[in-house]
Amino acid sequence: MWWGSMAKLPNMLSLWNLLVLSLALNVSLILRMVSESQERYIGSSCFKKQGDGHVFHEGSLTISSSLSSNFANSSRANHPQGNGRVINLDHGDPTVYETFWRQMGDKTTITIPGWQSMSYFSDASNICWFLEPELAKELVRLHNVVGNAVTDGRHIVVGTGSSQLFLAALYALSPPDAAEPISVVSAAPYYSSYPSMTDYQKSGLYKWAGDADSFEKEGPYIELVTSPNNPDGYVRRSVVNRSQGLLVHDLAYYWPQYTPISSPADHELTLFTVSKSTGHAGMRIGWALVKDQEVAKKMTKFIELNTIGVSKDSQLRAAKVLRAVSDSCVQERRFQGEESFFKFSYNIMSQRWKQLRATVERSGMFSLPRFSPAFCTFFTQILEPQPAFVWLKCEGEIEDCESFLRRHKILTRSGRHFGVSPKYVRISMLDTDENFMQFLDRLSAIQIQS
Residue 29 lies in a domain: no
189 and 319: one domain?
Answer: yes
Q: Which of 290, 307, 329 lies at the terminal end of a domain, its last residue?
A: 329
Both 250 and 136 in one domain: the answer is yes
Given a cut of 50, the residues of the chain with pLDDT beneath it are 1-13, 18-21, 25, 27, 29-80
Same domain membership, residue 77 and residue 176: no
What CATH number has the domain bearing residue 425?
3.90.1150.10
Beta strands in 193-350 (DSSP E): 206-211, 221-226, 245-250, 269-273, 286-290
195 and 133 together in one domain: yes
What predicted TM-score, i.e. pTM, was given to this entire model?
0.82
Task: Name the domain count of the chain.
Answer: 2
249, 247, 242, 188: which is closest to 217 by C-alpha? 242
For 430, the domain range is 63-105+339-449
Q: How far apart are CA 101 and CA 324, in angstroms?
A: 10
pLDDT (0 to 100) of residue 24: 52
Residue 232 shares a structural domain with residue 356:
no
pLDDT digits (tens, 9 = 90+) for 298-336: 999 999 999 999 999 999 999 999 999 999 999 999 987
pLDDT of residue 38: 41
Indicate the SS3 state at residue 304: helix
Q: Is residue 334 a part of any domain in this protein?
A: no
Q: What is the pLDDT of residue 380?
A: 97
Is there a single domain that holds both residue 95 and residue 168?
no
Q: Does a structural domain hold residue 36?
A: no
> Which 3 state secondary structure label does DSSP give 230?
coil
- The verdict on 129 and 273 lying in the same domain is yes
Task: Report pLDDT for 23.
Answer: 52
Q: Which residues contact 261 (CB under 8 A, 6 or more apart)?
A: 146, 147, 148, 254, 255, 376, 377, 378
For position 27, what pLDDT does the model report? 45
Quick one: which of 142, 123, 62 has its CA closest to 326?
A: 142
Same domain, residue pair 101 and 181: no
Q: What is the pLDDT of residues 218-237, one digit of tens each?
A: 999 999 999 999 999 999 99
Q: Which of 280, 298, 329 is the last residue of a domain?
A: 329
At residue 396, φ and ψ (nearest 5 deg) are 75, -140
CATH classification at residue 134: 3.40.640.10
* CA geometry: angle 143, 287, 413, nearest 5 deg: 105
For residue 115, being part of any structural domain is answered with no
The pLDDT value recorded for residue 449 is: 60
